[in-house]
């Protein structure tokens, strides 16, 4: 039976309605879908059957046309979808357009334009500073409290949840080694992050102010920024992450619209430094999101990072990455940076959880410092909704397969 009886309190209930792209097992045709419970609704098919004016906007093989349509359209389509799945008179018409999740293949839901990754958790930045610069008087770099640090990543290697991750190879050189060696990474790690998906583009020379965040950002996805620490440590000075990151970035197949997360908005941590006006959010609506993330390795939860602890908000990140006049494209994706809370079991990377390998994790599948071939990492998250409900984000999972060399 189609999931009309999914209760309001279900984490994928009618108050959530994330968007994805699916194909049926007997077809190569990709369609925009909306998740309800353990089913996916063929959104364009339902729209056509109901004579909806949004049928053309939804009849595509990626979410990009919907993303480009802008905030008014996003709200209108969401309102329509909510009615379709909750008003009893629509049931008979849309029933044929529901498919059980286990009968479909989920695809990368949007064509990724540019990809940027930030470094917005103060706990993470302090942990990394202490691990890599133990002799430095301050684990934070002098710029950290003044701007959200980021770098441009590789959009072409953003993959959907469930895609295997091939262990990357590259150069590594420990400080005491006489020369670098080439080979498969021996310090393969994860970074638990939240990704923000840009819908409405901008023209070059037109920065997006803090107040423009909701006009340009469509929604969020869980994101795993796979990281080869040994490659990264040798290559990153002075220009930042490169091959240690660019081999794969995994995202959820479901994009949760910002409109579903209104109840989860929270104030970010108090600011310790005055901010330049374009980043000063003291008079803005709360820019943080209360997202409770879980990180599991081979099914065993190793950390529960709280996104509400992030120092820099997604609105500040968007303002910063456009303040120089750089334009936005529909499908731009930016990652929050590793989410790490203040407690030891809230750290969003193995680098921090094992303190660079010093303190191995004792998992049911064996001790781990970094990832072994065959390990599977899964990120899940939920946010508080109205009246005590939960909004689940789509999970992102990936398994490490051996290097071919």
Query: Which range, of 9-17, 41-49, 197-205, 220-228, touches Ca ion by CB under 5 A?
Result: 220-228
CB 127 within 8 A of CB 352: yes
| Terminal Cα-to-Cα distance of the chain (whole angstroms) | 48
Residues 173-202 vs Ca ion: string with x where CB under 5 A? ------------------x-----------
* Distances 251 to 14, 246, 254, 329 between C-alpha atoms, Å: 23, 14, 8, 18
Q: Choose the catalytic residue: 10, 15, 39, 124.
A: 124
Residue 117 as a binder of Ca ion (CB under 5 A): the answer is: yes
Nearest residue by C-beta to Ca ion? Answer: 225
Q: Which is nearer to Ca ion, 227 or 378 (CB)?
A: 227
Q: Which is nearer to Ca ion, 189 or 191 (CB)?
A: 191
Q: Is 273 annotated in the active site?
A: no
To Ca ion, the closest distance from the beta carbon of 232 in angstroms equals: 10
Angstrom distance (rounded) from CA 287 to CA 268: 6
Element (H, E) at 191: none
Q: What token pair was written down for 126?
A: 């302090």
Residue 225 as a binder of Ca ion (CB under 5 A): the answer is: yes
Q: What token pair was written down for 236?
A: 């990153």
Q: Which is nearer to Ca ion, 114 or 191 (CB)?
A: 191
Q: Which is nearer to Ca ion, 124 or 172 (CB)?
A: 124
To Ca ion, the closest distance from the beta carbon of 371 in angstroms equals: 15
137 three-class SS:
coil
State CA 374 to chain mean position distance. Answer: 23
83 three-class SS:
helix
Angstrom distance (rounded) from CA 360 to CA 191: 17
To Ca ion, the closest distance from the beta carbon of 249 in angstroms equals: 9
Q: Which is nearer to Ca ion, 34 or 381 (CB)?
A: 381
Query: Which range, of 34-42, 70-78, 111-119, 274-282, touches Ca ion by CB under 5 A?
Result: 111-119
247 secondary structure, DSSP code: T
Residues found near Ca ion in the complex (CB under 5 A): 117, 191, 225
- Residues annotated catalytic, as ranges: 124
């Amino acid at each position: 039976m189609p999931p009309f009886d999914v209760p309001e309190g279900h984490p994928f209930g009618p108050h959530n309605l994330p968007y994805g792209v699916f194909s049926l097992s007997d077809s190569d045709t990709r369609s925009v879908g909306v998740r309800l419970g353990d089913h996916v609704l063929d959104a364009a098919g339902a729209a056509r059957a109901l004579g909806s004016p949004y049928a053309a906007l939804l009849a595509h093989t990626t979410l990009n046309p919907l993303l480009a349509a802008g905030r008014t359209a996003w709200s209108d389509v969401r309102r329509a979808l909510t009615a379709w799945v909750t008003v009893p008179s629509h049931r008979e018409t849309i029933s044929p357009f529901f498919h059980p999740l286990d009968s479909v293949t989920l695809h990368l839901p949007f064509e990724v334009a540019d990809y940027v990754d930030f470094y917005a958790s103060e706990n993470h930045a302090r942990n990394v500073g202490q691990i890599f610069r133990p002799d430095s008087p301050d684990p934070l770099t002098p710029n950290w409290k003044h701007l959200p640090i980021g770098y441009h990543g590789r959009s072409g290697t953003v993959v959907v949840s469930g895609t295997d991750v091939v262990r990357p190879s590259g150069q590594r050189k420990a400080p005491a080694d006489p020369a670098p060696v080439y080979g498969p990474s021996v310090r393969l790690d994860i970074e638990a992050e939240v990704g923000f998906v840009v819908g409405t583009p901008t023209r070059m020379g037109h920065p997006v102010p803090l107040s423009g965040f909701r006009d340009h950002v469509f929604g969020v996805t869980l994101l795993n920024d796979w990281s080869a620490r040994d490659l990264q440590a040798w290559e990153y000075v002075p220009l930042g992450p490169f091959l240690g990151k660019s081999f794969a970035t995994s995202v959820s197949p479901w994009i949760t619209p910002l409109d579903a997360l209104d109840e989860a908005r929270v104030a970010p941590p108090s600011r310790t430094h005055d901010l330049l006006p374009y980043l000063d959010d003291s008079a803005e609506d709360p820019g943080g999101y209360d997202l409770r993330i879980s990180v599991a390795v081979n099914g065993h939860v190793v950390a529960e990072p709280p996104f509400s602890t992030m120092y820099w908000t997604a609105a500040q990140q968007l303002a910063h990455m456009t303040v120089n006049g750089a334009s936005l494209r529909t499908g731009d994706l930016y990652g929050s940076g590793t989410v790490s809370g203040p407690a030891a079991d809230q750290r969003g990377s193995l680098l921090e959880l094992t303190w660079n390998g010093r303190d191995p994790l004792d998992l049911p599948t064996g001790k781990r410092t970094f990832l072994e071939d065959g390990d599977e990492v899964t990120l899940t998250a939920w946010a508080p909704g109205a009246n005590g409900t939960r909004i689940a984000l789509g999970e992102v999972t990936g398994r490490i397969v051996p290097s071919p060399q």
